[in-house]
Chains A and B, each alone.
Chain A
Amino acid sequence: MSYENRYSDELGQDPVLKKKTARRKKQELYQKTAFLLIKLSAAAAILTLIIIIGDIVLKGYPAVTIEFLTRMPVNQMTEGGILPCVIGTVELILLSLLTAVPLGVIAAVYMTEYAADGKIKCAVEEAVNTLAGTPSVIFGLFGMALFIKYIGLPQSLLTASLTMGLLIMPVIIRTTQEALLAVPKEYREASRALGATKWETIRCVILPAAYSGLITGIIISVGRAAGETAPILFTGAVYYYPKLPDSVFSPFMALSYHLYVLATESMNIELTRSLQYGTALVLLAIVFSMNLIAAGVRRHYKKKLSSN
């Protein structure tokens, strides 16, 4: 018997080792099952997504023609295009980002970099978290009460954008705060040790290093601004306004609300089925392309900043 054989033979017979191998096998089985479960749930999530998107794309694709994109809705919205809704939605997204991003970033910088730790800061942070989870219809009612009833603005693109801005601001604040906190403290020290003031450090080092996190916040916000209907329902979006919005003070049509109207309140729901799918597809495409742009910007920054 060779040495190796003898060795493996002994291995097989040693009771302690045998017990160890049994435990090892049990652990392996356990691990395999866990992995399987994880894989299954991931697959379920992705599959659902594929089904939804696939359904919308397949059924909406035939409806989306150049005409559909460039014409006004006609004949009580059972025919024609969705041009004013597309423009309205894009303007709404951009305007609400324009209000929420600067304010949200400033608030986040103040809270992470300047505010002293304590009860007040804690309370404000909790408030922001709560706001981020508040149902959108409440924002809609609040926007109406504040901007229309109290301040006296008209039902308009501006009012709707401000309301939508309020809705996405907590998201911007949260993500920016997290991005700021993730900036290593070494950068702060290095900058301060060179004689930079706190503000110079934030402006030139910390904020640029946090861009990528900030853009993630913007991506989430774009989706919400495009999709939420309740906040604009009471504040500016209208059922039918077959004119392109000429100023921020005029009412407007939005894809999300248009879709809701087509699907629930139109004269003949069956007749507009393909229009509904078309509208949903366009909405999806707008959100997707805006996210693509944001992700491109994020990649550009990441490339510029780090090694890979």
Chain B
Amino acid sequence: MNATESKNAFSYEDTLSFENAIGFENKYLYEQDPAFSPEMNRKKAIEVKDLNLWYGGNQALKKIYLDIPKNKIFSLIGPSGCGKSTFLRTMNRMNDMISNCRIEGKVCVDGENIYGKGIDVTGLRKRVGMVFQKANPFPMSIYENIAYGPKIHGVSKKEIPGIVEESLRCAALWDEVKDRLKEPALSLSGGQQQRLCIARTLAVKPEVILFDEPCSALDPISTGKIEELMAELKKDYTIVIVTHNMHQAARISDCAAFFLSGELIETGKTAQIFENPQDKRTEGYITGRFG
């Protein structure tokens, strides 16, 4: 399907909102790329519109428009301090816990603005899970770590063992821990702990999983395992990942967005961003990293 066809197939409003959403400067990128046709636009998991965020008087995110497609891996790249983590955390409202943080604009998950009135934040966080940079299993047993989420969301006791096993299997950890579920989670290796955290997130059955530099503390083998796992997970989940590792972003993600000092500079298919960046700054960052 090419761009003209897809334009014909959808109403004018559809196209307009799509153009707004991606920002005009990036429009041509999408038009050349069937993966970003308006049809694709309909399958978006998250829509960010005119998002601005301040920490006190310091603006950390400036006028962000971004769509995140369903069942894809979306990577956020950019230099340290450019606002990647901040942006990621707006998507499950983790910034609410920071007292001097102020947010304007819209972030829609499944079409619903999560900063709108009457939003149930705990319900939102159940739908949009998060895995952190440093593996942070609770100081409890492996089993209890996974069971924690379902328990607080009122899943009946009978179902929990099944959920625990399923989540651990999904996170490719079951075979390694099935005989030691009662042992403390902190006795696992770093890579296993990170997969445990992924399993813990899966246990509440989210739609979207946010990863904030999940492999930065891991060795290449554990990293490989987690990357494989993500590729597997994207069949059922939408994945957004912040990474400093350009190779990783190029390897695993379908789409990418480049941030620089709080602004979204460029977004598109990963191959496009890495092989043929449209913005000088993106090119500079990527080539700088590759040497």
Contacts and interface: CB of A to CB of B under 8 A. Distances in A.
Interface stretch (A48-56, A203-211, A235-243): A203-211
B138 A187 contact: yes
Contact of B126 (A189, A195, A204): A195
A40 B204 CA distance: 57
- The A contact surface, by secondary structure, is helix
Contacts of A200: 152
B196 to A, nearest CB: 11
A188 B200 CA distance: 14
A190 B204 contact: no
Interface stretch (B51-59, B127-135, B249-257): B127-135
Contacts of B84: none
B129 A187 contact: no
Given A194-B129, A195-B122, A306 B139 contact: yes
Interface in B64-94: 92, 94
A193 B132 CA distance: 10
B139 A193 contact: no
Contacts of A205: 138, 148
Interface in A23-43: none
A151 interface: no
A184 interface: yes
B278 interface: no
A196 B152 contact: yes
A189 B125 CA distance: 11
A208 B152 contact: no
Contacts of B94: 189, 192-193
Nearest to B128: A193
Contacts of B123: 195
A305 interface: yes
Contacts of B129: 193-194
Nearest to A211: B139
B136 A194 contact: no
A209 B145 CA distance: 13
B254 to A, nearest CB: 24
A187 B136 contact: yes
B143 to A, nearest CB: 12
A4 interface: no
Contacts of A187: 136, 138-139
A184 B138 CA distance: 10
B153 interface: yes
Given A186-B136, A204-B148, A306-B139, A192 B125 contact: yes
Interface in B199-231: 200-201, 204
Interface residues of A, number: 23
A197 B184 contact: no
A8 interface: no
Contacts of B92: 193
Which of B94, B122, B129 is packed against the most chain A CB atoms within 10 Å? B122
B187 interface: yes
Interface string B105-148: 00000000000000000111110011010101111110000001
A304 B134 contact: no
A307 interface: yes
B76 to A, nearest CB: 17
B125 A305 contact: no
A221 B101 CA distance: 41
Given A204-B152, A306-B184, A307-B187, A194 B201 contact: yes
Nearest to B135: A186
Most central of B97, B152, B187 by chain A CB within 10 Å: B152
B149 interface: yes
A191 interface: yes
B192 to A, nearest CB: 12
A193 B122 CA distance: 8
B138 A307 contact: no
B97 A192 contact: yes
B35 interface: no
B164 interface: no
A87 to B, nearest CB: 38
Contacts of B171: none
A145 B123 CA distance: 52
A80 B254 CA distance: 87
B132 A305 contact: no
B130 A193 contact: yes
A194 B126 contact: yes
B139 A195 contact: no
A194 B152 contact: yes
Nearest to B121: A195
A194 B139 contact: no
Interface string A167-209: 0000000000000000010111111111111001000110011
Given A189-B94, A193-B201, 8 more contacts: A190-B200, A192-B97, A193-B92, A193-B125, A193-B132, A194-B148, A194-B200, A306-B186
Q: Which 7 A-B pairs have the closest CB atoms?
A: A186-B136, A305-B139, A307-B187, A195-B126, A195-B125, A193-B130, A195-B122
Interface of A: 184, 186-197, 200, 204-205, 208-209, 303-307
29 contacts: A184-B136, A186-B136, A187-B136, A187-B138, A188-B97, A190-B138, A191-B138, A192-B94, A192-B125, A193-B125, A193-B130, A193-B201, A194-B125, A194-B126, A194-B149, A194-B152, A194-B204, A195-B126, A204-B152, A205-B138, A205-B148, A208-B140, A209-B139, A305-B184, A305-B186, A306-B184, A306-B186, A307-B184, A307-B187
